[in-house]
Amino acid sequence: MAALGRQMFVDASLSASGRQSCASCHSPEHAYGPPDGRPIQPGGESMDRLGLRTVPSLRYVLPRTSVWYKEHQRDPIERAIEIDSVPTGGFARDGRFDNLREQARAPLFDPAEMANRDDAALAARLRAAPYADQFARVFGAAALADDVKAVDGLAAALERFELDDPSFAPYTSKFDNYLKGRARLSEQEARGLRVFVDPAKGNCASCHTVAPGANGAPPLLTDYSFAALGVPRNRKLAANADPNFFDEGLCGPLRKPGSLGSDEKYCGMFKTPSLRNVATRSTFMHNGVFENLADAVRFYAGRDVHAARWYPSKGKGVERFDDLPPEHRGNVDQLTPPMDRKPGEAPALTESEVQAIVAFLSTLSDEDAQPARLGMGKHRRAP
């Protein structure tokens, strides 16, 4: 199944355009992340459609079923006790998939991605693929002949490829070798790690865990939790031309309506991504608003101290958290360091500490991960 999934992953003939495969956006050469600096990758039947979000890396996306769905099935008393718990788990930036098989299906039918109209259209493309006979050997000729079963098998093979192929979890970064005692961090990298874990400074490790797991398992640099960060609106995105459109993560628009009940306090939350290979990217956050890694770090440290740098002017003030509707801007985390600063206070990080964290983040890149092609990135002026 994994060998079959490997062929499907790179097969552009499975798309309506015939020009896009899974690998087009999740490039194996770029840690299964985007190959270039575009905030959103194009797709669709004519390769002229744009989606809503940046492409996440598929590396280190290990099985982690969302506990949120289970939480809503608990009895009222138990839910009341845990009412302040933060949702965790799931796949995609809004955690709407319970497993990789469900996640693999979504791009195949998304009108802005591979754009198959239905199971029948995709199954026909699968039957014409050069590995159709191999599919029949794995799943049976009857499955290949049945549209629904053929698509189910396709998704299962893609899932098996992601779970079994060692290229999705190589653990070959300098930081992995450091944890094994096989490498030493430079002075700046070591300083960056200290600031990264310091709860009064970067406090990054509170969500992007760096401690080895059970039996020394390498850390995945995420705790799978969700957070509302108040990321600035990216006005380069086509969807954002509509001032009334907002991508609110756990509250949609891609999640099914009502899947979170009436808990609007979670609107604006997105899943914490792994920071492994983050330094190979050239767009950051769910909407790609930042085009270099240092700006992403600066934003955490000085979001509210230097609000005018990140948000547009409005009247005599600044419109903070402008990528959320006004009624949900109170959901943004303003309590957790370093996002607990007030206007007039010093940022949680100095510029040298920002650069040290960036140096540390560079140690999280796998040996084979190539930097995404640049050409669009612009640096915001440092304080």
Res 378 pLDDT > 60: no
Q: What is the set of domains in the chain, with CATH numbers?
A: 2-62+99-168 (1.10.760.10), 174-362 (1.10.760.10)
Give percent of the chain with pLDDT exceeding 90.
Answer: 81
Nearest to 367 by CA among 219, 188, 172, 231: 172
Res 48 pLDDT > 60: yes
Q: What is the mean pLDDT of residues 298-327?
A: 95
* pLDDT given for residue 382 in this prediction: 34
* pLDDT given for residue 84 in this prediction: 52
C-alpha to C-alpha distance for 120 and 309, rounded to whole angstroms: 50
- Residue 379: pLDDT band by 50, 70, 90 thresholds? very low
Q: What is the mean pLDDT of residues 161-186?
A: 96
* pLDDT given for residue 138 in this prediction: 97
Q: What is the mean pLDDT of residues 285-303?
A: 96
Mean pLDDT of the chain: 90
Nearest to 226 by CA among 251, 257, 244: 251
Beta-bridge mates of residue 317: 314
Maximum alpha-carbon separation in the chain: 69
C-alpha to C-alpha distance for 140 and 106, rounded to whole angstroms: 24
* pLDDT given for residue 75 in this prediction: 39
- Residue 62: pLDDT band by 50, 70, 90 thresholds? confident
Q: What is the mean pLDDT of residues 273-279?
A: 96
Res 140 pLDDT > 60: yes
Res 27 pLDDT > 50: yes
Q: What is the mean pLDDT of residues 48-62?
A: 92
Which tokens hold the place of 141?
A: 């000729």
Distances (CA, A) of 120 to 42, 45, 117, 150, 158: 24, 16, 8, 9, 18
Q: Are 365 and 183 in contact (CB under 8 A)?
A: no
Neighbours of 217 (CB within 10 A): 9
Q: What is the mean pLDDT of residues 206-229?
A: 92
Res 362 pLDDT > 50: yes
Model-level pTM? 0.90
* pLDDT given for residue 47 in this prediction: 96
Q: Are 173 and 365 in contact (CB under 8 A)?
A: yes
Q: What is the mean pLDDT of residues 310-318?
A: 93
Res 294 pLDDT > 70: yes
- Residue 78: pLDDT band by 50, 70, 90 thresholds? very low
Lowest mean pLDDT among 10-24, 89-103, 266-280, 351-365: 89-103
Annotate the chain with three-state secondary structure.
CHHHHHHHHCCHHHCCCCCCCHHHHCEHHHCCECCECCCCCEECCCCCEECCCCCCCCCCCCCCCCHHHHHCCCCHHHHHHCCCCCCECCECCCCCECCHHHHHHHHHHCCCCCCCCCHHHHHHHHHCCCCHHHHHHHHCHHHHHCHHHHHHHHHHHHHHHHHHCHHHCCCCCHHHHHHCCCCCCCHHHHHHHHHHHCCCCCCHHHCCCCCCCHHHCCCCCCCCEEECCCCCCCCCCHHHHCCCCCCCECCCCCCCCCCCCCCHHHCCEEECCCCCCHHHCCCECCCCCECCHHHHHHHHHHCCCCHHHHCCEECCEECCCCCCCHHHHHHCCCCCCCCCCCCCCCCCCCHHHHHHHHHHHHCCCCCCCCCCECCCCCCCCCC
Name the residue with higher pLDDT: 127 or 97: 127
Lowest mean pLDDT among 80-84, 242-246, 326-330, 344-348: 80-84
